[in-house]
Amino acid sequence: MQQPQHLREHYRHFQAITTRWHDNDLYGHVNNVTYYSYFDTAVNSYLIEFGGLDIQGGAIVGFVVSSSCDYFESIAFPECIEVGLRVGKLGNSSVQYDLAVFREGQMQACAAGRFVHVFVERESNRPVAIPQALRQAMEGLLVR
């Protein structure tokens, strides 16, 4: 069975990341769980820069409630990668991000994943509507 294509052109924003020495595992490639840290870095960097998310003192925070990743080709230290980001679903208090890991300049993804954020009030941990500035930033990544 052929893997689905996850092409660079299908993503709206890219976050450059340099792999680190400790990303590699005993098998000489980036360990599978490390991809999730790349996803977190890409999403939160975007939300901070373009949506004004205040991760330290803001009243609203995003909790990851679901995540998955499919792997197609190994990456390893030292490599420069780019994490492609788009929004697949945007609800009232939740958003599904679709992400893909590309070698620098490569058109086909080495891995593709998704995760869901639910936005909550920091004090109560209760879901809240996504604030307007964050929603606008997410809408810029939305694929229909």
Q: What's residue 4's pLDDT?
A: 67
Q: What's residue 3's pLDDT?
A: 61
Q: What's residue 5's pLDDT?
A: 79
Q: Can you tell me the distance from the alpha carbon of 130 to that of 118, in angstroms, rounded to the nearest whole number?
A: 9
Contact 88, 20 (CB under 8 A): no
Q: What's residue 121's pLDDT?
A: 97
Is residue 2 helix, strand or coil?
coil
Domain range annotation of the chain: 8-139
Q: Among 19, 16, 15, 37, which Cα is nearest to 86's?
A: 15
Residue type at position 99: L
How far is residue 65 from each of residues 25, 79, 94, measured CA to CA in Å?
Answer: 26, 30, 10
Q: What's residue 1's pLDDT?
A: 46
Q: What's residue 128's pLDDT?
A: 97
Output the CATH code of domain 8-139: 3.10.129.10
Contact 134, 47 (CB under 8 A): yes
Mean pLDDT by 10 residues, the chain (144 residues): 79 97 94 96 97 94 96 96 98 98 96 97 96 97 90
Token digits of residue 76: 């390893």
